[in-house]
Amino acid sequence: MPTVWLTFVSAMNDERSKELARTAFSAYLKSRKLRHTTERDIVLEKVLEMPDNFSINSLHASLVQADRVSLATVYNTMQLLAGAGIVRRHKFEGTVSHYERVSSANEISYLHLVCTECGKIKVTKDAEISRAINSRRYPTFHTAYFSLCIYGVCSRCARRLKKK
């Protein structure tokens, strides 16, 4: 399986969105009568430091070095964070899952340009497509956000394939 490298557009690092995420997580754990453990807090704090888009491998790698949090705990906590609406999980064809931090202040939807050769994902925004999708109304359905994947070959792989 190819390593997934993610390019992020902008990091939402401001204190206000961090506080909102902490409050949302506490409320979520409480509502489900789940324990608010130190390990879960460590994972949340690391997620808040990550770029907007990241893979679970890169998250775990930084946690293993600093805090020795197990992979099982990372997976478990990421599910809780997704349940609490703090992150979104994306699974692209032929790649590992990756997560996107939800910016509560201004909901942004992304396009994901997925290279079918190396698995690299470039995250980008397209105002025109966002406007078009956000203005669509579907019967008996309320749109919250969208995730759009465009599959193709990145310029590096295109050059490599040309040389063969």
Binding site for Zn ion (CB under 5 A): 115, 117-118, 120, 154, 157
Residue 43 or 154 with smaller CB distance to Zn ion: 154
Residue 28 or 92 with smaller CB distance to Zn ion: 92
Q: Shortest Cβ distance from residue 164 to Zn ion (Å)?
A: 14
112's tokens:
């994901």
Cα-based distances in Å from 32 to 21, 25, 36, 45, 118: 17, 11, 11, 21, 40
Q: Shortest Cβ distance from residue 108 to Zn ion (Å)?
A: 25
Q: What is the distance between the terminal CA atoms of the chain, rounded to a whole angstrom? A: 21
Eight-state DSSP code of residue 5: -
Round to whole Å and give the CA distance between 92 and 96: 7
DSSP string over 51-82 = -SEEEHHHHHHHHHHHH---HHHHHHHHHHHH
Q: Shortest Cβ distance from residue 70 to Zn ion (Å)?
A: 32
Round to whole Å and give the CA distance between 55 and 47: 11
Q: Shortest Cβ distance from residue 161 to Zn ion (Å)?
A: 9
Residue 64 or 158 with smaller CB distance to Zn ion: 158
Residue 142 or 162 with smaller CB distance to Zn ion: 162
Q: Shortest Cβ distance from residue 153 to Zn ion (Å)?
A: 6
Where residue 85 falls (left for φ over 0; alpha for ψ -120 to 50; beta otherwise) is left
Residue 71 or 149 with smaller CB distance to Zn ion: 149
